[in-house]
A and B are shown apart, each in its own frame.
Chain A
Amino acid sequence: MQRFDAIVIGGGLVGSAIAYGLAREGLKPALIDEGDVAFRASRGNFGLVWVQSKGFGAPHYQRWTRLSSEEWPSLAAELKERTGIDTGHERPGGVHLCLSDAEFDERRARMEQMRAEAGNFGFEYKMLGPADLREMLPGLGPAVVGASWTRYDGHANSLYLLHALHKGFIARGGTYIPNRTVDYAGVAPNDFRLGSGADEISAPKIVLAAGLGNAKLAPLFGLSAPVRPQRGQILVTERASRVFEMPTTTVRQTVEGGIMIGDSMEDVGFDTSQRPDVMRAMAERAVRSFPFLAELQVVRAWAALRVMPPDGTPIYDESEKFSGAFTANCHSGVTLAGAHANAFAPMIAAGTLDPMMAPFSAKRFDVPQAA
């Protein structure tokens, strides 16, 4: 029987960022994870550290994302220094391309609303026309009508981040326990036990960061995490010399040179199979955006399941029934890594969530719809 200061369930980007943050706060955490074959949203990530589309209708989410984006550079630097792994983080701003006037108008309206909702916090954006865009993005196609741009956006390598967080976690004294499915033995306020006999581990704090697995786990701890899978497919091309300095929501170039293309959103349950017709649609849009991409070979592609809360906004909660139990759920494990490691983890270490997290609680789903 092993005792820890905290147990984090889920070794993906969310769990490992929180676990890393806890270890940095001086706790001795355990990070529980599944085996080699699991849904693992983190392995399917596009790699954006994205602000401009986050928190539409939910200003607290907007602010949380901005906070994370501000924390990212210091987290990246710290991880590089401690683990030697460069997460490839760049923050040149980012662009959302519009391929029709209707898309452009809709986007502008959305950006305006984001700004209005941000209030005093502020949200600066620009709507750009093709001439300005072409300077930022070489090879832009004639089909592109314009784009929204903010300076807050950037990108990083999601797998290097995962690797760095794991390595950093262990370097700071964390214990990684893989190949475990959670088979709880006991849930009591500030006393959580998983497993049994010699395998049993316990801690006064527990964080549910198991992605799609949280939906079933949460109620056991007096929490609610009604997340659903949303499939996304990604294509990656052969390595090419550097073309794009600026990421877009659907096309970005990695540090190695491959160009990544996203960004499908499919409601198909727990199905991680690829669909040629979806891949075709993604390729079509990419080639319309940048005609020169047509010549590039796709060498790799995959499908993964995003962890999607009902309204798209993250769910952060602490259990009222079982004090010491927390949960974190989102579909932006890369973007929010800064917040998870540098803001959320300290809250857990302190024992309770800051009042600013209240709007993220799953209680918001209990509110009856306004008539």
Chain B
Amino acid sequence: MFRRRPEAVGPTVTVTVEGTELHVPQGVSAAAAMLLAGLASVRETPVTGAKRSPYCLMGICFDCLAEIDGQPNRQSCMVTVAPGMAIRRQRGKRSVGIE
């Protein structure tokens, strides 16, 4: 859905999106990384399982909720990529970790 302009300069950061490594421009959001990865959708809603992707990219719509570094339901448009960040789709309700 999105690509980097060829004229763009600047360092990149390596993250994984759904387990696949991806180099994205430094300073972009985790949501942008998922869009760059070309995911068909970023999450499935907890209400009906409907497929969603970011709508506003400015922290208002909450349609960009994703699992980032193991923490579910984070507004991925509000999180800047960091080296090694693991970004995964949010599949419905979050699970709860109980030992």
Contacts and interface: CB of A to CB of B under 8 A. Distances in A.
Direct contact, A vs B (beta carbon within 8 Å): yes
B60 interface: no
Contact of B93 (A241, A295, A297): A241
List 3 A-B pairs, minimum CB-CB distance, nearest first: A139-B98, A239-B46, A239-B93
Contacts of A238: 72-73, 94
Given A240-B96, A257-B93, 12 more contacts: A238-B72, A238-B94, A240-B93, A240-B95, A241-B96, A243-B96, A256-B46, A256-B47, A292-B96, A295-B71, A295-B97, A296-B94
B-side binding surface: helix, strand, loop or mixed? loop
Contact of A139 (B46, B93, B96): B96
Contacts of B46: 239, 256-257
A138 B73 contact: no
B98 A240 contact: no
A243 B71 CA distance: 18
Nearest to A139: B98
Interface string A139-154: 1000000000000000
B64 to A, nearest CB: 14
Nearest to B98: A139
A257 B73 CA distance: 14
B98 A243 contact: yes
Contacts of A295: 71, 96-97
Contacts of B95: 240-241
Nearest to A138: B98
A130 to B, nearest CB: 15
11 contacts: A139-B96, A139-B98, A238-B72, A238-B94, A240-B94, A241-B94, A243-B98, A256-B46, A292-B98, A295-B96, A295-B97
A297 B93 CA distance: 12
Contacts, number: 32
A312 to B, nearest CB: 35
Nearest to B71: A295
Contacts of A240: 93-96
Interface in B41-58: 46-47
Contacts of B71: 295
Contacts of B98: 138-139, 243, 292
A241 B90 CA distance: 13
Interface in B27-75: 46-47, 71-73
Interface in B68-99: 71-73, 93-98
Contacts of A139: 96, 98
Contacts of B73: 238, 297
B8 to A, nearest CB: 34
A208 B71 CA distance: 49
Contacts of B94: 238-241, 296
Interface string A30-43: 00000000000000
Contacts of B97: 292, 295
Contacts of B93: 239-241, 257
A240 B71 CA distance: 13
A2 to B, nearest CB: 41
A295 B73 CA distance: 11
A298 to B, nearest CB: 12
A239 B47 CA distance: 9
A138 B47 CA distance: 24
A257 B71 CA distance: 17
Interface in A204-245: 238-241, 243
Interface in A124-143: 138-139
Nearest to B97: A292
A242 to B, nearest CB: 9
A236 to B, nearest CB: 13
B56 to A, nearest CB: 17
B6 to A, nearest CB: 39
A256 B71 CA distance: 20
A295 B95 CA distance: 11
A48 to B, nearest CB: 21
Contacts of A239: 46, 93-94
Contacts of A256: 46-47
A256 B94 CA distance: 12
A280 to B, nearest CB: 21
